[in-house]
C-alpha cells in the first residue's frame, strides 16, 4: 500500500478550493479496485499496476475474495472488509456482480464509482435493465459513476498521478484533457501519444454515460487548472439544449476540439450498433457543434494535430499568415490548405522585403510565401522568421524540407530563437524528418510533419481565436399571440389532422409577428367579392385543403388574376375541380429575392432552424444553413452569413442589400413558434420574399406539420 503522502490531503480539495463532485473520480483521496486480479493479463490487474506504477500517492485497496495479496498489496475479500473510509471504487467484476458491489459502495459511503465492466445497454435487454438500475442507485445515493463499459480515466497532475486505465503506456503530463465516447479510440490516441509526444492533463473514457455524461466531464475539464484544450470524441448526445449551454460556456474559456464519429448515415448506424444509442442526425450535430464554438475535425490525425497546436500555442489575433519555406512545391500545397481554411497570405511590406534581401540569396522569392530555396541556411531562417513575425500578419508557418547541406536541427533552433521573442503562434512543418521531430522539444513553436497539417492547425487557431472573440448572442423573446396558435393546433388535433393548411399556417406565422403578404381566406362563393375588395389586383388564387401537399402540381395555384371577372371565373373553375376547405386570395408581391425558412425535428427530436435560397429547384441543391434551437440573435446572424448563396442578401445585380435585421427577427420569431409548441414537427415558409425595405420582407406561403404526421421529414 502506498503510504499516505503529504499531497494526499490536497486531493480532498480542488485547486479552486471547494471540492466538486467529480473530484471523487479525478482526485480521489483513496482508491479501491474491486476485481484486482492476480493474473497479470487481467484488466483488473493491469489497472492496479498502472495505478501503482504511475505514482498515485493515496491509499490503494485491492479487493479480491480469492487471493491473499495482489501485486504486493493485501487483498480484501470485500469492500466491507476495508475499515478506512473510501473515496473512489473501481469495478472490474462480472456484470452480474456490479449491482451488489454498488450496494456495498453505497453502504460504505463511497464518493465516486468507475465501472469498467461491459455488457450493459450495449449488449442486450438484460444489460439495459441492469444499467437502468445502476443509474437509479447511483443517482439516488448521489454518487458520480463513470461508465459502465469504459476503459477508465487518468489525471496527470503532480500530486495526483492517478492512472486508472489499462493502457499499456503511461500518459505524459500536458495541456490536453481527452474525453472519449469510444474506449478503443481512446486507446488508439493514448498509444499514439507516446510516439507523437502528446501531453495530457485528464482522460476519461465515458462508456455508456449512465450517470456522468460527456458534458459533466467537459465542465470538470473546463475548471481544471492544468487543462488548456479539451479534445472530445463524440458519437452521440441526448440533450442539445444542455450541450449548447455547456459547450458555449466552455468554449469562451477553453477550446473544445471535437472529432465526431457517425457524421454519415452509415457511420451513425455503426455508432448506434456499438453504443446502443439513437442516431442524431449528422446535420443537427454539426450545427450544435458549430453553434457552441467547438472546433470540428475530420480525422484522427487532424484531431491530434489540432489539439496539440491549441494546447501549445498562443492564439493569433486574426487570419493573416506569413509562410516561410525552402521548398516551392510543399509551400504551394501548404498555401492551398491555408486558403481552404480561410486564412490569408498578405503581401510583405517593403521594409520586410528589403530586410530579407540583405540575407537571402538571389534565387530567393521574397513574396508571401518567402522561399529561401535550397540555399536557405539556419541563420537566414532565423532572420527571416524575425522579420516575418514583425509583419502585420498574425501567425508564422515555417516549412523546411531538408536539403543535403543544411541541418534541420539548426534551422529549428533558429526558428525557436525567433519565436521566443514573439507573442504570435509559430507553426513549423519539417516533413520526412521523423528522427528530428521525435527528438526535438521546441518550447516556442509547434512542430508538425506535413505542411498541410500545419496549415490545418493554423486554421483551427484562427477559428478558435474568433470563437473567443465573438459576442455572446442574446436569447430574445417577442410578444406574440400564443393563444391564437394554441387554438389552431387544438382545432387540428380535434379533427385528427397533422397538417395545417396554408391559411392556418400563415395565420400562425402572423400570430407570431411574422409578416405575410396581404391575403384573405374565402370559404364560399358569397365571400369572394367582399374579400377581394380589400385587396389590390393582380391577385393569386390558391387552393386551401389540408390534404393537398403540392398545390402547383394539382393546378391549385392561379397567378396574375387582373380583374374581378377573371377572379370569379378562376374561383369557379378551381372549386369545381378540387375538393377544398376554401381558397386563399393573395396580393401578387413583386418577387425580387426569395428565401426558404424552415424548422424540422430530426429522428431524435432535435429541433433545427433552416434557411436557404428560394426558387423552384434550389431544393435540389439541398443548400441550407442550419442551427439547433435554442438560438441567439447572433446565431441567426451567422446562419444568414453562412447560408449557401448568401451573397444575394448583399448588394446583388443592381439590388440593394436586404433588410437583414428584419430577417434575423423573422427567424427568431419562427424559432420561438417552434419552441413554444413541441407538437410542431415541421414548418416550411416557402417562399419568404426579401428586399431592402423591411416592409417588403414577407411570407407568401407556409405549411406547418404536427408530430405524428407521415409527411414529416424527420431527417
**DSSP 8-state code for residue 553:** G
The residue (of 321 and 631) whose beta carbon lies closer to its own copies is 321
At closest approach, how far in Å is the CB of 347 from its own copies? 10
CA neighbor of 164 nearest in space, from 4, 22, 49, 39:
49
> Distance (Å, rounded) from C-alpha 549 to C-alpha 491?
19
The residue (of 208 and 632) whose beta carbon lies closer to its own copies is 208
The residue (of 241 and 410) whose beta carbon lies closer to its own copies is 410
Tell me which H or E stretch contains 567.
Answer: helix 564-577
Could you tell me if 112 and 87 are in contact, meaning their C-beta atoms sit under 8 angstroms apart?
yes
The string over 50-78, giving b where at least 16 C-beta atoms fall within 10 Å of a residue's C-beta and e elsewhere, is: bbbebebbbbbbbbbeebeebbebebbee
At closest approach, how far in Å is the CB of 5 from its own copies? 29
The residue (of 175 and 614) whose beta carbon lies closer to its own copies is 614
At closest approach, how far in Å is the CB of 169 from its own copies? 9
Work out the end-to-end distance of the chain between its first and last CA atoms, rounded to an integer number of angstroms: 55
The residue (of 225 and 621) whose beta carbon lies closer to its own copies is 621
Task: Tell me how far CA of residue 290 lies from CA of 155, 160, 233, 510, in angstroms.
Answer: 29, 34, 15, 31
- 645 sits in the region (left: phi over 0; alpha: psi -120 to 50; else beta) called left
User: What are the backbone dihedrals phi and psi of residue 157, each rounded to the nearest 5 degrees, phi first?
Assistant: -55, 135
SS3 (DSSP) at 105: helix
SS3 (DSSP) at 23: helix
The residue (of 340 and 357) whose beta carbon lies closer to its own copies is 340
The residue (of 22 and 259) whose beta carbon lies closer to its own copies is 259
The residue (of 105 and 440) whose beta carbon lies closer to its own copies is 440
At closest approach, how far in Å is the CB of 98 from its own copies? 16
The residue (of 111 and 593) whose beta carbon lies closer to its own copies is 593
At closest approach, how far in Å is the CB of 241 from its own copies? 25
CA neighbor of 540 nearest in space, from 514, 515, 570, 565:
570
At closest approach, how far in Å is the CB of 70 from its own copies? 17
At closest approach, how far in Å is the CB of 398 from its own copies? 14
Tell me which H or E stretch contains 348.
Answer: none
The residue (of 350 and 362) whose beta carbon lies closer to its own copies is 362
Task: Tell me how far CA of residue 632 lies from CA of 124, 595, 636, 699, in angstroms.
Answer: 41, 20, 7, 22
288, three cell numbers: 450544435
At closest approach, how far in Å is the CB of 613 from its own copies? 5
> Distance (Å, rounded) from C-alpha 332 to C-alpha 454?
13
> Distance (Å, rounded) from C-alpha 31 to C-alpha 233?
27
> Distance (Å, rounded) from C-alpha 444 to C-alpha 620?
49
**Which residues are within 8 A (CB) of 147 and not within 5 positions of it... i.e. 6 or more apart?**
113, 114, 115, 116, 117, 205, 206, 207, 208, 210
> Distance (Å, rounded) from C-alpha 116 to C-alpha 95?
10
The residue (of 111 and 260) whose beta carbon lies closer to its own copies is 260
At closest approach, how far in Å is the CB of 605 from its own copies? 22
Residue with cell string 442578401: 649
At closest approach, how far in Å is the CB of 594 from its own copies? 8
462, three cell numbers: 484562427
Task: Tell me how far CA of residue 136 lies from CA of 103, 210, 567, in angstroms.
Answer: 12, 9, 66
SS3 (DSSP) at 228: coil
CA angle 605–609–612, rounded 5-degree value: 135
Task: Tell me how far CA of residue 648 lies from CA of 636, 640, 667, 694, in angstroms.
Answer: 17, 11, 17, 16
> Distance (Å, rounded) from C-alpha 671 to C-alpha 632?
10
Strand boundaries in 577-664, DSSP class E: 582-587, 593-601, 607-613, 624-628
User: What are the backbone dihedrals phi and psi of residue 674, each rounded to the nearest 5 degrees, phi first?
Assistant: -65, -40
The residue (of 158 and 565) whose beta carbon lies closer to its own copies is 565
The residue (of 533 and 617) whose beta carbon lies closer to its own copies is 617
Could you tell me if 415 and 384 are in contact, meaning their C-beta atoms sit under 8 angstroms apart?
no
At closest approach, how far in Å is the CB of 264 from its own copies? 4
421, three cell numbers: 521573442
> Distance (Å, rounded) from C-alpha 598 to C-alpha 683?
5
At closest approach, how far in Å is the CB of 708 from its own copies? 25
At closest approach, how far in Å is the CB of 267 from its own copies? 4
**Which residues are within 8 A (CB) of 589 and not within 5 positions of it... i.e. 6 or more apart?**
517, 689, 696, 698, 700
At closest approach, how far in Å is the CB of 620 from its own copies? 4
The residue (of 84 and 559) whose beta carbon lies closer to its own copies is 559
At closest approach, how far in Å is the CB of 119 from its own copies? 7
At closest approach, how far in Å is the CB of 614 from its own copies? 8
The residue (of 46 and 227) whose beta carbon lies closer to its own copies is 46
At closest approach, how far in Å is the CB of 152 from its own copies? 12
At closest approach, how far in Å is the CB of 128 from its own copies? 14
> Distance (Å, rounded) from C-alpha 274 to C-alpha 123?
8
> Distance (Å, rounded) from C-alpha 8 to C-alpha 18?
16
The residue (of 151 and 608) whose beta carbon lies closer to its own copies is 151
What is the pairing mode between strands 395-399 and 426-429?
Answer: parallel
The residue (of 30 and 180) whose beta carbon lies closer to its own copies is 180
The residue (of 375 and 637) whose beta carbon lies closer to its own copies is 375
- Report the DSSP beta bridge partners of residue 426: 396
Amino acid at each position: 500500500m502506498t503510504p499516505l503522502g503529504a499531497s494526499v490531503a490536497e486531493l480532498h480539495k480542488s485547486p479552486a478550493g471547494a471540492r466538486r463532485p467529480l473530484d471523487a473520480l479525478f482526485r480521489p483521496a483513496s482508491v479501491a479496485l474491486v476485481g484486482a486480479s492476480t493474473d497479470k493479463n487481467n484488466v483488473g490487474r493491469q489497472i492496479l499496476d498502472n495505478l501503482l506504477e504511475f505514482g498515485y500517492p493515496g491509499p490503494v485497496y485491492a479487493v479480491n475474495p480469492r487471493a491473499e495479496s495482489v501485486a504486493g498489496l493485501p487483498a480484501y475479500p470485500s469492500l466491507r472488509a476495508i475499515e478506512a473510509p473510501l473515496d473512489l471504487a473501481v469495478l472490474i467484476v462480472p456484470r452480474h456482480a456490479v449491482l451488489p458491489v454498488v450496494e456495498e459502495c453505497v453502504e460504505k459511503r463511497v464518493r465516486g464509482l468507475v465501472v469498467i465492466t461491459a455488457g450493459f445497454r450495449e449488449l442486450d435487454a438484460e444489460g439495459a435493465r441492469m444499467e437502468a438500475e445502476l443509474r437509479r442507485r447511483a443517482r439516488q445515493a448521489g454518487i458520480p459513476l463513470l461508465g459502465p463499459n469504459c476503459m477508465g480515466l487518468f489525471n496527470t497532475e503532480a500530486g495526483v498521478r492517478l492512472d486508472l486505465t489499462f493502457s499499456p503506456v503511461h500518459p505524459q503530463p500536458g495541456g490536453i484533457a481527452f474525453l472519449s465516447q469510444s474506449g478503443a479510440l481512446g486507446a488508439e490516441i493514448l498509444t499514439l501519444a507516446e510516439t507523437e509526444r502528446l501531453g495530457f492533463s485528464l482522460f476519461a473514457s465515458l462508456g455508456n454515460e449512465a450517470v456522468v455524461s460527456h458534458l459533466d466531464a467537459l465542465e470538470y475539464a473546463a475548471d481544471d487548472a492544468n487543462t488548456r484544450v479539451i479534445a472530445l470524441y463524440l458519437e452521440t448526445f441526448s440533450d442539445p439544449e444542455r450541450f449548447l449551454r455547456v459547450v458555449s460556456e466552455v468554449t469562451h474559456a477553453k477550446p473544445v476540439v471535437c472529432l465526431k464519429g457517425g457524421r454519415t448515415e452509415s457511420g451513425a448506424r455503426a455508432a448506434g450498433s456499438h453504443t446502443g444509442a439513437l442516431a442524431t442526425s449528422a446535420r443537427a450535430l454539426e450545427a450544435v457543434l458549430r453553434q457552441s464554438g467547438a472546433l470540428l475535425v475530420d480525422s484522427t490525425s487532424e484531431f491530434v494535430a489540432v489539439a496539440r497546436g491549441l494546447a501549445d500555442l498562443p492564439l493569433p489575433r486574426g487570419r493573416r499568415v506569413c509562410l516561410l519555406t525552402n521548398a516551392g512545391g510543399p509551400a504551394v500545397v501548404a498555401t492551398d490548405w491555408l486558403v481552404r481554411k480561410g486564412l490569408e497570405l498578405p503581401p510583405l511590406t517593403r521594409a520586410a522585403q528589403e530586410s530579407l534581401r540583405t540575407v537571402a540569396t538571389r534565387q530567393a522569392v521574397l513574396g508571401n510565401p518567402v522561399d529561401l530555396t535550397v540555399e536557405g541556411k539556419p541563420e537566414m531562417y532565423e532572420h527571416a522568421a524575425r522579420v516575418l513575425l514583425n509583419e502585420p500578419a498574425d501567425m508564422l508557418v515555417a516549412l523546411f524540407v531538408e536539403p543535403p547541406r543544411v541541418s534541420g536541427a539548426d534551422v529549428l533552433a533558429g526558428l525557436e530563437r525567433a519565436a521566443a521573442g514573439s507573442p504570435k503562434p509559430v507553426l513549423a512543418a519539417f516533413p520526412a524528418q521523423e528522427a528530428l521531430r521525435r527528438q526535438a522539444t521546441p518550447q516556442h513553436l509547434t512542430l508538425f510533419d506535413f505542411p498541410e497539417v500545419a496549415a490545418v492547425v493554423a486554421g483551427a487557431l484562427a477559428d478558435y481565436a474568433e470563437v473567443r472573440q465573438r459576442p455572446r448572442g442574446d436569447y430574445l423573446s417577442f410578444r406574440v399571440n400564443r393563444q391564437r396558435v394554441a387554438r389552431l393546433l387544438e382545432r387540428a388535433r380535434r379533427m385528427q389532422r397533422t397538417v395545417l393548411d396554408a391559411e392556418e399556417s400563415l395565420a400562425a406565422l402572423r400570430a407570431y409577428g411574422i409578416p405575410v403578404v396581404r391575403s384573405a381566406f374565402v370559404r364560399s362563393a358569397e365571400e369572394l367579392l367582399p374579400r377581394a375588395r380589400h385587396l389590390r389586383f393582380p391577385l393569386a388564387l390558391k387552393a386551401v385543403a389540408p390534404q393537398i401537399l403540392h398545390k402547383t402540381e394539382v393546378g391549385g395555384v392561379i397567378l396574375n388574376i387582373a380583374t374581378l371577372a377573371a377572379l370569379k371565373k378562376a374561383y369557379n373553375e378551381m372549386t369545381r375541380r378540387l375538393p377544398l376547405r376554401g381558397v386563399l386570395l393573395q396580393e401578387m408581391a413583386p418577387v425580387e429575392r426569395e428565401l426558404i425558412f424552415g424548422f424540422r425535428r430530426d429522428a431524435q427530436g432535435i429541433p433545427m432552424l433552416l434557411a436557404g435560397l428560394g426558387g423552384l429547384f434550389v431544393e435540389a441543391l439541398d443548400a441550407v444553413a442550419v442551427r439547433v434551437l435554442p438560438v441567439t440573435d447572433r446565431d441567426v446572424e451567422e446562419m444568414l452569413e453562412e447560408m449557401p448563396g448568401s451573397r444575394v442578401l448583399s448588394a446583388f445585380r443592381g439590388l440593394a442589400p436586404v433588410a437583414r435585421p428584419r430577417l434575423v427577427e423573422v427567424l427568431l420569431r419562427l424559432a420561438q413558434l417552434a419552441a413554444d409548441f413541441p407538437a410542431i414537427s415541421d414548418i416550411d415558409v416557402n417562399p419568404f420574399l426579401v428586399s431592402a425595405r423591411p416592409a417588403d420582407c414577407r411570407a407568401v406561403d407556409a405549411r406547418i406539420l404536427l408530430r405524428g404526421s407521415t409527411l414529416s421529414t424527420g431527417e
